[in-house]
Amino acid sequence: MKKLILFAGLVGLFLKAKSQDNFSTVFNQINTEVQSHSQAYQNLKEATEIIGHRLTGSANGAKAEEFAYNLLKSYGFEVKYQPFEVESWDRKTLSVKIGADKGKLAAVKAVTLAHSPVKANVTAELIDVGNGLEADYQPLKDKVKGKIALIYLGVLPGSPKGTPSLHRSEKTAIATKYGAIGVVIVNKVEGGVLLTGTASVTGKLIPIPAVCIGLEDGMNLKEKMKASPQYAHVEMTNFSGMIRAKNVIATLKGTDWPNEKIVVGGHLDSWDLATGAIDNGIGSFSIIDMARTFKKLNLKTKRTVEFVLFMGEEQGLLGSKAYVAQGLKDKTLDRVRFMLNYDMTNDPKGFSTTRKEMEPLFKSWGTEIVKLDTGFKNLFNAGAGLHSDHQPFMLEGIPTGGGAGGKLPNNAGPFYHSDGDGFHLVDEQGMKNTVRYSAMLTYALANTPTIPVNRFSDADLKVFLESQKLKEPLKIAGEWKWGD
């Protein structure tokens, strides 16, 4: 009996090694193909030149959907659109004036934050609420009512250690709760860079106007407010209306377990101030090239792989929410075993996931990648955040992950959501690294005999989200479903 157990153990080790050897062979093929023939960089360049921005609901957004569909179709995929309705938003006119004398307010360079009202015209005293957190409002209480809240985008220098940084939409929601009639958010980037993005936690119109001003103007204003009251006039018009947008889905059907799915997703849409080359061209066009690589090498996967380009992420994760809602409706969401999200991912040095239990597998696959390229550091991060297309999957308990340890190229970070997010910031090798490492991870997840994690139960999900300190922002967004 002992000999039988020993033999079985040796067979198991042999099969495991054989499986690992097979992965190594495919990893090497992926590495060679992407390094030599990747089209990610060139495809993104072409898209930025012939389409421009990719705002959901706009003509450009529709062109981007078609561009991605045609590319994936040309690679030999079964491709489909997943239509969904979206409350489209677009900026029209804006005037922001600030000063100590209501009769002589001076124009300040600003940009409207998305989902601000279709029409607004307010004049009121400004009130400085620091980082815009609940703790900043407590000492002010009713003093905020009827005023325009001045809020720093991130965490102010000199703030207590451990001060949380909420999303601009969550800060706007708190300001609205305390009776502010407008919000002026101060960007944290030097050089007068203006940032856009949604000020809505729901993806629907908010009741008060919200704008962003540059760092220098904002900090100068904060100093003036210490000496005398300052007033602001905000007048704007915007467009909002229901339209249809489309996720783009390319499917590689699994050979052994076709009803188990690995979703590889990222958002195709961008804001309208620039071409969105970094946010999220480098992610979405890397996904398209991962798909190309699988077809070019004729790779087979035991599990089904879906390469998904989501629209509407910038307006509130609308495309990924539509995907998850459809999965719940037709009772197919349980088929999703893992969701990999690529949002501004560049040159990853390892893998990240919500599930610590994945570390042995991820690290073992990373060890094979290091043999091909020592630039890959085989980092492993376990944890969770919000505000990208993994979120709707994560909130249903599905394991999520992606790249870890990468850095944006060419100091691109400050130009996130701004008029400076252009193709000149993109690094070709950084995109190649995203494609090859992520294609290897996708292949391994789709073929490993056992994925050691399943969907969280509701009870386990609640504990996990609390451990990640996500309860407060989810409550603000109305997405905390446990009621306490």
For 79-112, b where at least 16 C-beta lie within 10 A, e where not — what string? Answer: beebebebbbbebeebebbbbeeeeebeebebbb
Q: Tokens 């620039």 — which residue?
A: 274
Q: Identify the pLDDT of residue 353.
A: 98
Q: What is the C-alpha separation between 83 and 380, in angstroms, rounded?
A: 35
Q: What is the pLDDT of residues 203-256, one digit of tens each?
A: 889 999 999 999 999 999 999 999 999 999 999 999 999 888 999 999 999 999
Give the Cα-Cα-Cα angle 139, 114, 387 (nearest 5 degrees): 75
List the structure tokens of 138. 């407590």
CA-CA-CA-CA torsion sign (234, 235, 241, 244): negative
CA torsion, ordered 302, 304, 309, 315, to nearest 10 deg: -120
Q: Identify the pLDDT of residue 86.
A: 77
Burial of 422 (0-12, 13-18, 19+ CB in 10 A): middle
Residue from 225, 238, 273, 239 nearest 421 by CA: 273
Q: What is the C-alpha separation between 442 and 436, in angstroms, rounded?
A: 10
Q: What is the pLDDT of residues 272-310, one digit of tens each?
A: 999 999 999 999 999 999 999 999 999 999 999 999 999
Q: What is the C-alpha separation between 178 and 480, in angstroms, rounded?
A: 21
| Contact between 426 and 277 (Cβ < 8 Å) | yes
Query: Which domains, and CATH codes, for the chain?
Result: 28-87+242-453 (3.40.630.10), 101-229 (3.50.30.30)
Q: Identify the pLDDT of residue 481.
A: 95
Q: Identify the pLDDT of residue 432.
A: 98
* Amino acid residing at 114: A
Q: Tens digit of pLDDT per residue, the chain (484 long)?
A: 444 444 444 344 334 434 443 699 999 999 999 999 999 999 999 999 999 999 998 999 999 999 999 999 999 999 999 999 977 888 999 999 999 999 999 999 999 999 999 999 999 999 999 999 999 999 998 999 999 999 999 999 999 999 999 999 999 999 999 999 999 999 999 999 999 999 999 888 999 999 999 999 999 999 999 999 999 999 999 999 988 899 999 999 999 999 999 999 999 999 999 999 999 999 999 999 999 999 999 999 999 999 999 999 998 899 999 999 999 999 999 999 999 999 999 999 999 999 999 999 999 999 999 999 999 999 999 999 999 999 999 999 999 999 999 999 999 999 999 989 999 999 999 999 999 999 999 999 999 999 999 999 999 999 999 999 999 999 999 999 998 8
